[in-house]
Amino acid sequence: MKRILFKSGTLVDPGSGRVWQADLLVEEGRIKAIDSGMAAPRGTEVVNADGCLIFPGCVDVHVHLREPGFEYKETIATGVRAAVRGGFVAVAAMPNTRPVADSAAVVGYVRARGEEEGLARVFPVGALSRGSEGKEMAPLGEMRQAGAVAFSDDGRWLADAQLMRRVMEYARMLKAPVISHCEEPTLTKGGVMNEGITATVLGLRGMPAAAEEIAVARDIILAEFTGCHLHVAHISTAGAVRLVREAKSRGLKVTAEVTPHHFTLTEEAVQGYATCAKVNPPLRTRADVEALREALADGTIDIIATDHAPHAREEKEVEFDQAPFGISGLETAIALVFTELVHKGILNLPQAAAKLSLNPRRLLGLPGGVLAEGEPAELTLIDPEREEEVDPAAFASKGRNTPFAGWRLKGWPVGVVVRGKWIPVRPLPGEGLREI
Ligand SMILES: [Zn+2]
């Protein structure tokens, strides 16, 4: 495997909290050396990283790759390209495919297809219940053996408390987290957006914050009861944040993720019946967005994950009530983190790197996430000053469904190192200068 030398990058290590300028040498898929003024050994690929931040490789713990079964929305091939273009070296694939990933066969298929592509790594998430129908436990042990890194019925909440208890007991034995889509379904039946003034004005049926909070509360209680690691997916309300904060203060094994759309947008993005902003959980109020940002800053929210949910154009170009939920998020996430959180002083650089790399890896039990000699060399290079307009037509994802089209964002990924390869995705900051 070849050597790659990154010259004069700004290293951001969430492990130690350090930010410093240095050269970084990659060899045999590991960080061989970190030093200043390093000479390139013969046969080394040299990348001028001056002006770039070097993060440990970013990992998205929540994506929908749609394969098998919905290849017209996305495939594993297009999904891993979208991941790399978005600055992610690995993704966890949710099991709501057709068939559902509720067996070793489907889990193994998703994993193998990811390996075949040779780009971002794909880690399958197995279902909690057969068909994610909430009735019978799925075969967690055999899925774990086939490579499942976590378990989830994402898209649905496992409402049967006794079944959730048993699943959590089993997942704990298998040392895998349970990722819960927290939505009490009787309160959200028929709902298409957040319940509140905007829904009333638009005449749309709402989904109250209470539906999420009831589910989070029950799941925290069951996590305490069983000792299972509960990970709350796409947290979106101030009340849910309070519950997670309280659970953490008591030392429970509870973590949470937030999506870029939930920390950026409010329910008002739906005005004009904008189906591109129809998402589940729904976009909430300004007070909820403020609570999410505060929770990111104080560590209550551990992870930023996209809930990448690509859909075909014709599916979203229908009446609001009929449109599917979801946003194609992989290719705008890092730019939103920089524009909305880093440049606004809500997260410092090591915190941002922790929420995009170290903490996602800890959740999934993956090594890496720190910049130190001997560590796995998965890297994400980011130009924090680059400004670019979001152009869904340029997405590698098949899903162009985004409420951020035309937004001018600052801070974009320029390339990743994964599987020992340097994959550039945008010009390096030094490149323009060299042409002059
Ligand atoms: Zn979900």
Q: Is 154 annotated as a binding residue?
A: yes
Rounded distance from Cα 152 to ligand 1 centre (Å)? 9
Structure-token pair, residue 60: 């998205």
320 annotated binding-site participant: no
Residue 65 labeled ligand binder: yes
**Any domain includes 369:** no
Identify the residue whose tokens are 């799941």.
Answer: 219
- Domain hosting 42: range is 3-54+374-435
Clarify whether residues 132 and 27 are in a common domain: no
Distance 155 CA to ligand 1 centre (A): 4
Neighbours of ion ligand 1 (CB under 5 A): 154, 181
Q: Do residues 167 and 195 touch, judged by C-beta distance below 8 A?
A: no
pLDDT at 78 over 70: yes
Q: How many CB atoms lie within 10 A of CB 298?
A: 11
Q: Is 307 a catalytic residue?
A: yes
Q: What DSSP character marks residue 376?
A: B
Between CA 242 and CA 245 the distance in angstroms is 5
pLDDT digits (tens, 9 = 90+) for 246-280: 999 999 999 999 999 999 999 999 999 999 999 99
pLDDT at 435 over 70: no
Please, are residues 367 and 15 in contact by the beta-carbon 8 Å criterion? no
Q: At residue 287, does pLDDT exceed 90?
A: yes
CA of 175 to the centre of ligand 1 (A): 22
The domain tally of the chain equals: 2
Taking only Cα atoms into account, the Rg of the chain, rounded to an integer number of angstroms, comes to: 21
Q: Is 307 annotated as a binding residue?
A: yes
Instruction: Write the single-letter amino acid at 340.
Output: E
pLDDT at 177 over 90: yes
| Percent of the chain with pLDDT strictly greater than 90 | 97
The DSSP call for residue 324 is: P
Ligand-binding site membership of 280 (annotated): yes
- Same domain for 340 and 396, yes or no, is no
Nearest to 259 by CA among 281, 243, 285, 228: 281
Residues 3-60 have pLDDT tens digits of 999 999 999 999 999 999 999 999 999 999 999 999 988 899 999 999 999 999 999 9
> Could you tell me the distance, in angstroms and rounded to a whole number, from the CA of residue 366 to the centre of ligand 1?
22
Return the CATH number at 22: 2.30.40.10
* Residues 174, 194 within the same domain: yes
**What does residue 41 show for φ and ψ, rounded to 5 degrees?**
-60, 155
Domain boundary among 340, 364, 388: 364
pLDDT at 430 over 90: no
DSSP characters over 6-46: EEEEEEEETTTTEEEEEEEEEETTEEEEEESSPPPPTTEEE
Q: Cα separation of 187 and 193, whole Å?
A: 12
Residue from 219, 307, 383, 391 carrying the catalytic annotation: 307
Query: Which distant-in-sequence residues (6+ apart) come within 8 Å of 1 by Cβ?
Result: 27, 28, 29, 420
How close is the Cα of 308 to the center of ligand 1, in Å? Answer: 10
